[in-house]
Amino acid sequence: MQINDTAALVTGGASGLGGATAKALAGQGAHVFALDLAASIEKADQVEGITYVEADVTDPEQVRAAVDTAAGSGVPLRTVVNCAGIGPSARILSKKGPHDLNLFRKVVEVNLIGTFNVVTVASEAIAKTEPLADDQRGVVINTASVAAYDGQIGQIAYSASKGGVVGMTLPAARDLASHGIRVMTIAPGIIDTPMLATVSDEFRAGLAAGVPFPKRLGRPDEYAQLALDIVRHDYLNGEVIRLDGSLRMAPR
């Protein structure tokens, strides 16, 4: 599927994986709409060719307004990449007591329900576009994590939410097949995003040493490159791709 002269929607598009993906899509001629919270957009290095739209992925009305903006841009909405997410850490039981239920609920709401919300609203818009070859209309790429498979101590909420994203992949692809919409998921390992900006060089080196090969942290542009490859490869559908240098996470 071509990227040039189509619209693309990227959640969490102001920084990190979403920022890199939005920039890569814009570089290939897409009209990119980067959804994010107002505070994140204010901090973003604004990139030409990207329209930044304030929206909370858990809010159906805000997402619908953002999708309508992208779908009404004058070119067909073909690509959606869900990168918005949060990753607080807490054990089921710790010295502070039991895991806060509201924190667990919040992580699932943003990472899983937010992803589902965007998939649902955006696929309705994509389904209204003119079909391409093989009756294809577009592609949705969701973001899980290797934590969906080997979550560490303190990742109970995050792992559960990302496991849900993995679990949605095949049924979502099957649900949307009749509308010509593919659904794929990327499960990144340890990527050098702003979430790691505050840790020490020693800690970062330790993380990199645990990756079998290449023995380094992943880069956001590598995620973006894979996302573009998925968009272009029409036969990729209903699958999760680990982007992790063959990393398997230890308990802690």
The number of beta carbons lying within 10 Å of the beta carbon of residue 94 is 11
Number of domains in the chain: 1
DSSP secondary-structure letter at 135?
G
Residue 127 lies in a domain: yes
Asked whether residue 250 is domain-assigned, the answer is no
Question: What is the residue range of 33's domain?
Answer: 7-242
Inside any domain, residue 18: yes
Catalytic residues: 158
Q: Determine contact, residues 197/19, Cβ cutoff 8 Å.
A: no
In a domain, 232, yes or no: yes
Give pLDDT, residue 198: 65
Rounded CA-CA distance 24/8 in Å is 11
Instruction: Report the candidate in 42, 109, 136, 119 with the shortest Cα–Cα distance to residue 81.
Output: 119
Assess if residue 218 is contained within a domain.
yes
Q: What is the pLDDT of residue 250?
A: 87
115, 168 Cβ separation under 8 angstroms: yes
Give per-residue pLDDT as tens, 203-251. Answer: 778 888 999 999 999 999 999 999 999 999 999 999 999 999 999 988 8
The pLDDT value given to residue 237 = 98
Residue 137 lies in a domain: yes
247 within a domain of the structure (yes/no): no
Question: What residues of the chain score a pLDDT lower than 50?
Answer: none
- Look up the pTM and report it: 0.95
Q: What is the pLDDT of residue 194?
A: 77
Best CA proximity match to 83, nearest among 34, 47, 45? 34
CA–CA separation, 184 and 82 (whole Å): 10
Q: Give the residue from 220, 217, 185 showing the smallest Cα distance to 45.
A: 220
Please report, for the domain that includes residue 24, its CATH number.
3.40.50.720
Any domain includes 132 = yes
